[in-house]
């Protein structure tokens, strides 16, 4: 299923009536910024989105090889991450790197959640 993004976050905020911005709005805008970053730094890569019939989703998917895909979740705060969708996704696509992209200082860190290794990083950590 397609997903629509706006590449002017000021325009996105205006269209959604976000004035002033509330903390709940930060996550959606952060996802837009991460997509812009991916497109600017990985212009030759196809960026995909995953959603199952129950509405669980992964923000961005980057295919490395036929059987290896990276999953990217974007959260304003790492404390707001729920690994349920990622766990379901990894049941279908077992190999690849799991990223949780947040506005955290470089170089980021790794942690285990629900038996999966997650790389918590800022957008620069996606390029390493």
Maximum CA extent, the chain = 44
Q: What is the pTM of this model?
A: 0.84
Residue 7 has pLDDT above 80, yes or no: no
Overall CATH class of domain 10-123: alpha beta
The 10s digit of each residue's pLDDT in 44-98 is 999 999 999 999 999 999 998 888 999 999 999 999 899 999 999 999 999 999 9
**Pair type for strands 57-65 and 47-51:** antiparallel
**Order of strands across the sheet that contains 68-74:** 47-51, 57-65, 68-74, 98-101, 116-121, 109-113
Q: Residue 67 to residues 22, 49, 88, 93, 95: CA-CA distances in angstroms?
A: 40, 16, 16, 7, 7
């Amino acid at each position: 299923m397609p997903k629509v993004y706006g590449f002017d976050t000021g325009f996105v905020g205006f269209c959604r009536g976000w004035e002033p911005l509330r903390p709940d709005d930060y996550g959606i805008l952060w996802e837009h910024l991460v997509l812009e970053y991916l497109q600017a730094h990985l212009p030759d890569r196809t960026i995909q989105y995953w959603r199952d019939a129950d509405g669980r989703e992964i923000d961005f998917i980057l295919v490395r090889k036929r059987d290896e895909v990276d999953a990217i979740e974007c959260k304003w705060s790492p404390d707001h991450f729920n690994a349920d969708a990622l766990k379901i996704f990894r049941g279908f696509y077992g190999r690849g790197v799991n990223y949780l992209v947040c506005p955290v200082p470089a170089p980021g860190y790794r942690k285990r959640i629900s038996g999966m290794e997650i790389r918590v990083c800022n957008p620069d950590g996606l390029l390493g």
